[in-house]
A = this chain, B = another copy of it.
Amino acid sequence: MKDVAEIAGVSVSTVSRVISGKFAVEEGTASRVRSAILQLDYRPNLLAWGLRSRSGKFIGLVIPGIHEPFATMIGLLEEYVTRGGYSLLFGNTESGPEKENIFIDDLISRHVDGIVFSGVSEKSLALPKLAGTDIPIVLFDRVFNARENVVTVALNNEAAGRLAARYLVGLGHRRVATITGPPDLNLCKDRLHGFKDEVSRLGAALDERDIEVGDFSFDAGLKASQALFARKSAVTAVWAQNDLMAIGLMRGLASLGKRVPRDVSIVGADDIPFARMTVPSLSTVRQPFEAMCRQAVSSLLGYDDLSRSANRHFAFDPELVRRESAQSP
């Protein structure tokens, strides 16, 4: 910038003003400055800019893995974040709390302007630490009650459970099973509660022994297929709390010689890109990730307004996607 000023024969302040465009500069000098910028291929130094303005101009993203649906989330968030003129700094905390800790410290040190947080477990060490700072946070898909002034973006999980139940029982299934995610996650409890309640409300049966506990992985679905169907079973339909487990279940059922959906109907949750690619394609309870990510980013960018408003919790309604993996028994 000093060089630019020299070439254009003006002071650095004038150069700064031309660049920002927020102040009046005579057209003649302005164009001299512009051509000097071009000539030198000058680029502003965001580090220096950030130092002065106390803003790194980026958004941090904390997620517990790169598998779906997180990969989709990363893509969506990146789009909205860059569109807002920020950059995405992302960290995978799958490997444990130490990594999470390091990453959060890094985000603070870099003066991020906001964080989208979706931790592995709900008892994360990071949130209390973040509470000490003034960094805007959005909790994605995880609902805590630790911090009062935190913004929350999540699926209406109970409704998701009810939707799956209504679909399956409506199809005519009388005896259903389910595979849950990690039980320490509130969202799993909510989904299970909605599912359970709606199933019994509609007069169908969900035996306690037909509730398998998984961890949202393909292998958990595989294992559940054994637990549920290795012996003869009266269950004709299963809801898995995410697509990956549903796909694992389908895969396991194929190995067991059971046909989907003829012998067993399956419904997943999320609607990851892969759901339409399987054979049979997977019916699922869709999470509107696009709207959710958009909301997360816009909450971050207009954070102050929100923190003063009462409405800081955004619950999105799930949507049923009918494909091939479920039918009437």
Contact = CB atoms under 8 A, between A and B. Distances in A.
12 contacts: A43-B105, A45-B109, A46-B106, A46-B111, A47-B110, A66-B72, A87-B110, A247-B277, A251-B278, A274-B277, A278-B278, A279-B279
A140 interface: no
Given A47-B111, A51-B47, A87 B87 contact: no
B103 A82 contact: yes
Q: How many copies does the complex hold?
A: 2
A102 B46 CA distance: 14
A41 B132 contact: yes
A108 B45 CA distance: 8
Nearest to A95: B79
A127 interface: no
A261 interface: no
Nearest 5 pairs between A and B by C-beta?
A66-B75, A71-B71, A47-B50, A46-B109, A254-B279
Contacts of A71: 66-68, 71, 74
A218 B45 contact: no
B254 A277 contact: no
A7 interface: no
A105 B99 CA distance: 29
A88 interface: yes
A12 to B, nearest CB: 16
How many chain A residues sit at the interface, stated as a range, is 35 or more
Nearest to A72: B66
A63 B65 CA distance: 19
A89 B92 contact: no
A279 B222 CA distance: 13
A11 to B, nearest CB: 21
A45 B250 CA distance: 50
Interface string A60-103: 00000111100110110011001000011111100100010011
A24 interface: no
Interface string A95-135: 10001001101101111000000000000000000001000
Contacts of A279: 250-251, 254, 278-279
A44 interface: yes
A268 interface: no
